[in-house]
Amino acid sequence: MTLLTVYFLLPNKAYIDEMGTISETFMVYKERFNTRSKISASPDSFASESDRVFSVIEKRIDREESHYINFYGDK
The candidate with the shortest Cα–Cα distance to 8, out of 57, 70, 75, 58, is: 70
pLDDT of 58 above 70: yes
Q: Which of 21-25, 33-37, 63-67, 71-75 has the highest mean pLDDT?
A: 33-37
Residue 63: the pLDDT is 83
Q: What separation in angstroms does the CA of 25 have from each of 11, 63, 74?
A: 20, 18, 31
Mean pLDDT of 20-27: 89
Split at pLDDT 50, 70, 90, the class of 8 is: low
